Amino acid sequence: MSEKRRIVRSVLEGKKPERVPVGFWFHFFEDELVEATSNEALIARNVEGHRAFIEAFNPDFIKLMSDGYFNYPNPIISLTATEDELGAIQSIGANHPWIEEQITLVKRQRAQFKEDIYSFYNIFSPVTYLKFLLGGDAQFVEFVNSYSAATINHVLAIVANDIAVLSARVIQEAGADGIYFSTQNIRSIIETEIFENIVKPNDLIVLNAANEAGGINILHICGYEGAKNRLADFVAYPAQIVNWATAVEKVSLVEGHQLFPDKVVLGGFGNTTEDLIFAGTQAAIQNETEKIIDSFSASPSLLIGADCTVPRETPLEHLEWVRQAAINQSAIVE
């Protein structure tokens, strides 16, 4: 077992590691929403991006990017579809190219690891995949309000079960340790009702499938573009690691750990060009790393990273400053 895998496993088992593990990640496309299905040039760019980053930074653990596969392949799902069309939607199938290619993608990403590290493949909430198809939160709310509850439940069940199949296969066949499951509240005046009746039940379908497949899974409560969430809504989600936007939510890792006491927490650094990990000095970044580690002196349940994917232009030396501070601080604590 590699040293990096050993220290992450220690954290997952509730044991004090030799040092606090550190992991960050980038998007490798200029536009991660571009469609890569059956496009070998883009798929190869995704794979090469992982190779170059892992070789240059050597992260302790990593999120494997699904760039190019954000678009669930069912064009019938739209605001112009009829009730009958949506009610007749069927699964894309366990062996659909969109699924098969992602299994192959993860195998290719992992095949070039220099050493054995924990890896988590990016999977979105079923509702998030629908938001990508429809255009955003407002369009999703319009979608929910435009069709019967039975039709909406049918569509979400189809999507959720397809994503559950993808998640299980990524773990069982492609070798990922788990999924990095990205979800969030909906920005709407009727959000609570939508969350409890639509978002959460379908999220649980995917997470339960990933757990049953043997995954160690990260719950990512996404604060993309400043989206705020009610963290308490996610307390009962069955994931082993939880990550949220500390900078957006104004909820520190220690405060969040009080909400999620039985989980490992991941994060500590904001992920925009205005945040410390991108714009800070070496002294400021290392001081912040030391503060994060000191704040968890009573618990080993900490992985250091960012609120989400860091900007593409983030200097790798900034990430290395975090790791060196983690190594030095762990030695001091010892």
Q: Where are the alpha helices (DSSP H) in the chain?
A: 3-12, 40-57, 83-87, 97-111, 126-134, 137-146, 149-172, 191-194, 200-212, 246-249, 253-259, 276-279, 282-295, 316-333
37: domain CATH number is 3.20.20.210
Number of H helices and E strands in the chain, helices first, is 14, 7
Q: What is the CA radius of gyration of the chain?
A: 20
Query: Is pLDDT at 334 greater than 70 in this prediction?
Result: no
Domain span including residue 208: 3-333
- The predicted-structure confidence for 75-96, as pLDDT tens digits, reads as follows 999 999 999 999 999 999 999 9
- Say how many C-beta atoms besides its own lie within 10 A of residue 188's C-beta: 17
Q: Whose structure tokens read 């001091």?
A: 332
Confidence of residue 333 (pLDDT cuts 50, 70, 90): very low
- The predicted-structure confidence for 187-211, as pLDDT tens digits, reads as follows 766 678 899 999 999 999 999 999 9
pLDDT on residue 189: 60
Q: In what order do the strands lie in the sheet with 241-244?
A: 61-64, 118-124, 178-183, 218-221, 241-244, 264-269, 302-306
Residue 229's identity, in one-letter code, is N
Query: Is pLDDT at 6 greater than 90 in this prediction?
Result: yes
Long-range contacts of 83-91 (CB under 8 A, 24+ apart): 83/147, 83/148, 83/151, 86/147, 86/151, 86/154, 86/155, 87/150, 87/151, 87/154, 89/154, 89/155, 89/158, 90/158, 91/158, 91/161, 91/162
Closest C-alpha among 146, 156, 160 to residue 210: 160
Please count the structural domains in the chain. 1
Distance CA 60, CA 2 (A): 10
Longest dimension (CA), the chain: 65
Mean pLDDT of the chain: 94
- The predicted-structure confidence for 151-183, as pLDDT tens digits, reads as follows 999 999 999 999 999 999 999 999 999 999 999
Query: Is pLDDT at 292 greater than 80 in this prediction?
Result: yes
pTM of the model: 0.96
